């Protein structure tokens, strides 16, 4: 269970990416019944730590604090693509993984994980501007340049800026369920879920969901009709477009395909129902648009690495009897 989180900072750490980790894991939201993490900012070099842009941070914790953490997070830094890192920090990161902790990098923090040898032979990502440099510096890393984040347990890497929020919320969802992750996202006023395989770069910013906008209106309609058979042809007809035009516009404006977006929404609905209802898996399959329990199990195993019943036991405990 995720309870103890430490973020390791070095000179040149970026303020925003550090703030991402602090916001997700460092805030006390116990007034909503949400978990409170034992959180620490760790100075991996002699403080005060120089923060980009232009201020300093006097972190009170030192590297020995990483030995307690269930998660060690590494934010981005302004010179991380070219600088060297303290040997004792690299050793502490390796030791964390060896004892079963997870590590998570935001943006160019991947270079620090690469220096520790934690990306060798492992799927990973970083900001699209840094992927070539990461590949050149760490040729054994298996870089996926176009995704938001990669969970190659126990190492999670994310792309630039907001993708770090996605990766952090993904980990919360994995460890503590969608209800907790969505509540944290709601407090942060950010989207509760973007799939890691979504493209980093899309041709247009994701628009607000507007009913009078063709794609925004389609997203709203899809959410309300997940239990129905939804095809590109049907969506295109509703939007008064040719199917190929609709599919292209959807990809441009969301960074993913209609099928993948809808599958993600169906999985989220299934997770909610497993956590908050006594419905059987067959009933959940019907309500979420999967058709049958076998299809739900297939997609849970493929996307979440677990079964619906195991997910329910983890996030509902003994309150719900085993069902279908």
Least-confidence region, from 14-23, 136-145, 264-273: 264-273
Residue 200 pLDDT > 70: no
Examine the domain organization and report whether 19 and 164 are in the same domain: yes
CA 66 – CA 1 distance, rounded (Å): 16
pLDDT tens for residues 65-121? 999 999 999 999 989 999 999 999 999 999 999 999 999 999 999 999 999 999 999
pTM: 0.73
On whether residue 48 sits in a domain, the answer given is: yes
Examine the domain organization and report whether 88 and 160 are in the same domain: yes
Examine the domain organization and report whether 168 and 241 are in the same domain: no
Residue 323 pLDDT > 80: no
CA 23 – CA 20 distance, rounded (Å): 5
Residue 196 pLDDT > 70: no
- The predicted pLDDT at position 157 comes to 97
Phi-psi region of 3 (alpha: psi -120 to 50; beta: other; left: phi over 0): alpha
Give the number of domains in the chain.
3
Q: Which residue range forms the structural domain that includes residue 296?
A: 260-319
Residue 211 pLDDT > 60: no
Examine the domain organization and report whether 251 and 267 are in the same domain: no
Q: Pick the more confident residue, 165 or 320.
A: 165
Mean of per-residue pLDDT scores for the chain: 89
pLDDT tens for residues 30-79? 999 999 999 999 999 999 999 999 999 999 999 999 999 999 999 999 89
Examine the domain organization and report whether 271 and 250 are in the same domain: no
- The predicted pLDDT at position 178 comes to 84
- The predicted pLDDT at position 202 comes to 40
Average pLDDT over residues 306-311: 88
CA 215 – CA 67 distance, rounded (Å): 47
pLDDT tens for residues 249-263? 998 888 789 998 899
On whether residue 166 sits in a domain, the answer given is: yes
Cα 119 to the chain's mean position, in Å?
Answer: 18
Examine the domain organization and report whether 124 and 178 are in the same domain: yes
Beta bridge partners of 304: none
Examine the domain organization and report whether 115 and 228 are in the same domain: no
Examine the domain organization and report whether 115 and 96 are in the same domain: yes
Residue 199 pLDDT > 60: no
Residue 321 pLDDT > 50: no
Instruction: Please report, for the domain that includes residue 225, its CATH number.
Output: 1.10.10.60
């Amino acid at each position: 269970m995720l309870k103890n989180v430490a973020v390791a900072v070095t000179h040149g750490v970026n303020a925003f990416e550090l703030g991402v980790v602090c916001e997700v894991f460092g805030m006390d939201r116990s007034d909503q019944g949400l978990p409170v993490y034992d959180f620490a900012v760790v100075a991996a070099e002699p403080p005060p730590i120089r923060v980009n842009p232009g201020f300093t941070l006097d972190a009170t914790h030192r590297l020995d604090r990483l030995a307690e953490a269930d998660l060690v997070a590494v934010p981005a830094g302004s010179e991380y693509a070219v600088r060297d890192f303290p040997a004792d920090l690299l050793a502490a990161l390796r030791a964390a993984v060896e004892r079963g902790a997870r590590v998570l990098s935001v943006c160019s923090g991947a270079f620090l994980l690469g220096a520790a040898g934690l990306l060798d032979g492992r799927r990973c990502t970083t900001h699209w501007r840094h992927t070539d440099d990461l590949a050149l510096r760490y040729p054994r890393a298996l870089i996926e340049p176009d995704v938001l984040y990669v969970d190659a347990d126990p190492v999670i890497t994310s792309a630039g800026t907001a993708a770090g929020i996605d990766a952090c919320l993904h980990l919360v969802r994995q460890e503590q369920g969608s209800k907790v992750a969505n509540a944290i996202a709601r407090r942060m006023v950010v989207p509760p879920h973007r799939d890691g395989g979504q493209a980093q770069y899309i041709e247009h910013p994701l628009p607000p969901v507007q009913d009078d906008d063709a794609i925004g209106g389609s997203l709203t309609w899809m959410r309300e009709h997940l239990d129905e058979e939804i095809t590109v042809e049907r969506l295109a007809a509703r939007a008064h477009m040719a199917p190929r035009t609709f599919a292209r516009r959807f990809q441009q404006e969301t960074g993913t395909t209609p099928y993948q977006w809808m599958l993600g929404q169906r999985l989220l609905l299934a997770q909610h129902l497993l956590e908050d209802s006594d419905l059987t898996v067959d009933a959940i399959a019907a309500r979420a648009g999967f058709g049958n329990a076998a299809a739900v199990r297939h997609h849970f195993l493929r996307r979440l690495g677990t079964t619906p019943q195991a997910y329910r036991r983890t996030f509902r405990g003994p309150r719900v009897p085993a069902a279908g």
